[in-house]
Amino acid sequence: MIAKLNPKPGEGYIGDQENYITVDFIVHFEEGDFIITLNDKNVPPLRINKGYKDLMAKRKNNGIGADTKTFLRQKFEAAKWFIASIHQRRETMMKVMRTIVEKQRQFFEEGEGLKPMIYKDIAEVIRMDISTISRVVNGKYVQSDYGVYELRYFFSEGISTQSGEDVSNKEVKLRIREILETESPSKPLSDDRIAEILNERGFNIARRTVAKYRESMMIPVARLRRKI
C-alpha cells in the first residue's frame, strides 16, 4: 500500500472540488437580527505555562539567579503581550465584520442590493486607520445565508440612480449579465441598447461604462456573441 502512494502529493491537477475555503466569519440572520461568529475553532487557546508562572512567583532565596529571573520576566511580558495582541486582533476583526453587515444589511437579508462602500466608510465608524481595514479584509471570507463571499466583495464604487440612491457597481454588472442572458442569440444587444435598458430601469449609466463593465466580466462585443 505504501509503495502505491505518491511521494509528492502536491503534484498533479487540483480541481475546484479540492480547493476548499475555510471561512473566517459566519453570519446568520435569525428572528430579525444577525448572529455574527468568528470561526476560530481551529485556533487553540493560548495561555502561559503554569510552571513558569510559579518560577516568577518564587523569591530570590530559591536558588534562581538574577539573570534567570530577568530572562523569565522578559519572556513572561512578551507572552502576555502576544496573547493580548491576539485578543485585540479578534476584536478588530469582529468590529469590521459587524460594520460591514450593518452597512450591507439588505444584502445579508435578501442576497442582493449591494451598496457602494469603501474602506474609509468602515474606518470612520470603528475609528481605525484605513490600512488596518485593508489588512483585516485581505484574504478573509464570510459564510452568509446566501453563500460564501470574500470580504473584498462588499467594497465597490457606486452608480447613481434616478431616485437619488447609489447602488454598487457589482449590482449593475449583475443587471448587465441578466440582460445579456435573455438577449436573442441571432440579434445580440449593443452596448448602447444595454445602456438604454438600464436607464429605463432607473440606472444613470453611459454606454462607455457599460462597455467597461462588460469587458471586466470577459463578455465579448455584440458581433462576437451573434449565433446563426
Asked whether residue 94 is assigned to any structural domain, the reply reads: yes
Least confidently predicted of 52-66, 78-92, 113-127, 193-207: 52-66
Indicate whether 54 belongs to any domain: yes
Q: For residue 219, count other CB atoms closer than 10 A to its CB.
A: 15
Q: Which of 116, 134, 154 is the last residue of a domain?
A: 154
**Residues 52 and 133 placed together within one structural domain of the fold:** yes
Distance, in Å, from the CA atom of 168 to the CA atom of 174, rounded to the nearest integer, reads: 10
Same domain, 202 and 148: no
Q: What does pTM read for this prediction?
A: 0.68
Is 6 part of any domain? no
Q: Containing domain of residue 218, as a range?
A: 159-225
Contact 203, 175 (CB under 8 A): yes
Compute the average pLDDT of residues 115-122: 90
15 in a structural domain? no
- DSSP collapsed to 3 states, 150-193: EHHHHCECEEEECCCCEEEHHHHHHHHHHHHHCCECCECCCHHH
Q: Which of 105, 134, 154 is the last residue of a domain?
A: 154
Indicate the number of domains in the chain: 2
8 within domain boundaries: no
pLDDT surpassing 60 at residue 59: no
25 and 102 together in one domain: yes
Asked if residue 73 is part of any domain, the answer here is yes
How far apart (Å, rounded) are the C-alpha atoms in residues 42 and 94?
17
- Regarding whether 143 and 175 lie in a shared domain, the answer is no
Residues in the chain: 228
Cβ atoms of 163 and 153 within 8 Å: the answer is: no
Residues 164 and 188 occupy one common structural domain: yes
19, 17, 18, 37: which is closest to 27 by C-alpha? 37
Q: Are the C-beta atoms of 29 and 142 separated by less than 8 Å?
A: no
**Same domain, residue pair 176 and 70:** no
Do 206 and 146 belong together in one domain? no
- The cell for 89 is 486582533
Kindly tell me if the per-residue pLDDT of 16 is higher than 60: no
Q: Is the pLDDT of residue 29 over 60?
A: yes
Is the domain of 36 the same as that of 148? Answer: yes
Q: Is 29 helix (H, G, I), strand (E, B) or coil?
A: strand
> Is 170 inside a domain boundary?
yes
Torsions phi, psi for 154 (to 5 deg): -85, 0
Domain closes at, from 154, 181, 196 = 154
Burial of 81 (0-12, 13-18, 19+ CB in 10 A): exposed
How confident is the model over 69-83, as a mean pLDDT? 86
Whole-number Å distance between alpha carbons of 223 and 201: 25
Same domain, 64 and 141: yes
State which amino acid sits at residue 126: I
Which residues fall within 8 angstroms of residue 60, CB to CB, at 6 or more apart? 66, 69
